[in-house]
Amino acid sequence: MAHVSDLIATDIEAYLHQHERKGLLRFITCGSVDDGKSTVIGRLLYESKMLFEDQVAAIEADSKKFGTQGGEIDFALLVDGLAAEREQGITIDVAYRFFSTDRRKFIVADTPGHEQYTRNMITGASTADAAVILIDARKGVLTQTRRHSYLVSLIGIRNVVLAINKMDLVDFSEATFRAIEADYRAFAARIGLEHITAIPLSGLRGDNMVERSTRTPWYQGPTLMEFLETTEVDEDRLQAEPFRLPVQWVNRPNLDFRGYCGVVTAGVVRPGDRIRVVPSGRESVVTRLVTPAGDVNEAVAGQSVTVTLADEVDISRGDVIATADAPPEVADQFECTVVWMADEPLLPGRPYLLKIGARTVSATVTDAKYKVNVNTMEHLATKALALNEIGVCNIAIDRPIAFDPYKANKDTGGFILIDRMTNNTVGAGMIHFALRRSHNIHLQHLDIDKQARARLKGQHPVVLWFTGLSGAGKSTIANLVEKKLHALGRHSYLLDGDNVRHGLNKDLGFTEGDRVENIRRVAEVAKLMVDAGLIVLTAFISPFRSERAMARTLLGENEFIEIHVDTPLDVAESRDVKGLYKKARRGELRNFTGIDSPYEPPETPDLRVNTVETTPEQAADLVIEKLRSLGLLEA
């Protein structure tokens, strides 16, 4: 093991103090499959004497069982811990290892090379200060090399090692090394990567890992370990930036103390500094900086701290405390880059949750502007993003938030997108700037509101959202319900799927993206009609739960009644009043719900009507009865 020091025996306190004050570098290894990422990390630990004797014995035993290096040690097994990784000889998940030298502490994330695991690579890179991009000297720059390099540039990693590995397999050829370096630098210049250090390596043999190799006398640069020990981290740059503290928790242990806890993501703060709370805009003065070790005179970027203020200011989780003269921007619409990480595509109009810092808000991609071809950097027109695609989108959220452009601050400019139904992380994003419309368009106050209009009509406005397969009977039942409401003197309107597509939505087709946009527009129209005091009936297949959930969120309590017109596919197909199922079965209609496009039935609808056992007239009566039971219609 390293760190053999006389201080351990003579003055353990001095030894621990010496190592506590060492800086930390987080870095990732990335690149294409089989370029030797895990081997390089394993060899680095071995050459640096960071392994215990029993670890070396274990890897020697594992190498005989799983290894790919004949009788020699397979260093990749040090970080490839999953059984599937060892069996296939690839990295699947991100593996983190901690180690330290006399000069610095390190956390390395070994990320997968396969395109299908791009999401894992993004996860590992999100907190990294440096990237080691591996290239197999026999293959040169590959598609995945470009993809990972582009992601590294997007995430804002400034220090990059171009590790040209397996030089032993090309006889340590300088010409090969220079050709790959030139090819990569030409690509890197196009994506904005500037600080690149190219190093010829042999992870298997240990050349230029810790000691300079005698087999590359033409190379005069640093070894990989020398680079990692001396490269600059972003701490100094972050401390020069304006102060930012996203509030994670309001600490109120007693009536005499109110502190705001979080990690300083940029800048320096001291007692007496004037601050502004964003997005509220209130200003105050810092009175104390509290840490577990007691009060301190300053807190810097990367430090966890509790801030107390001179004034009683309304601050909650997700707000940002910032320097008063350079606060973050506030907006509710942005242009941003999105890396899509889900099997289901990103669709404009579909609602997601957006988490930025400690704040989570509802978000919708309003426009997918283009996606990027990572090989050519070409911008390609698109209406959606598929798994592992990278694109530029406009996003709107349901309330203004504090933010900085991602290039200025990763923590207040980076976000994740979460699926509302599954709570899975489906995308990672980086904010470019706020859209001008977010500053120029404001809600206009109207004196006559929804309640006033409803009182005039003498009714409770509500949306009756009928969903079900084509041919289930939605329009028939909705039409009967409206006739009954009309007979009772109620003011209503029926939004029918076919009718809307003759006007408002005539520009939309039947792709998954168009269906999402179709329902988004209908939901917005229904919301306006409820605001006008009407009882609104909608008859749409509305095949996806997420869009129906989105429609519900637009309305208030007891203003959205989901009615599942439950008809089995074979029954709906046997009716086939419009002949659509026959066309779909003949392949003349694509993306037909129930045939080659999915339908997600409601899990807990407010009312389910079975049209096999119930006539349309009886189903309409059930809907009226439901309204009366909820107090939305007088008995």
Alpha-carbon distance of 535 to 122, in angstroms, equals: 47
Name the β-bridge partners of 431: 336
> What are the backbone dihedrals phi and psi of residue 185, each rounded to the nearest 5 degrees, phi first?
-65, -35
Alpha-carbon distance of 102 to 210, in angstroms, equals: 13
Compute the C-alpha angle 316/320/321, nearest 5°.
Answer: 100
Radius of gyration of the chain (CA): 30
- 408: DSSP letter: T
Q: Considering the candidates 32, 202, 542, 546, report the single residue annotated as catalytic.
A: 542
Are 417 and 429 within 8 A, CB to CB?
yes
Outline where 314-445 has alpha helix (H). 410-413, 436-440
Are 601 and 566 within 8 A, CB to CB?
yes
**Sheet containing 23-31: order of strands:** 95-100, 104-110, 23-31, 130-136, 159-165, 195-200
Outline where 377-446 has alpha helix (H). 410-413, 436-440
Alpha-carbon distance of 470 to 476, in angstroms, equals: 12
Is residue 280 flagged as an active site residue? no
Alpha-carbon distance of 401 to 329, in angstroms, equals: 8
- Residues, the chain, total? 635
HSE-CB at 525 with a 13 A cutoff on CA atoms is 19
- 443: DSSP letter: P
Residues designated catalytic: 542
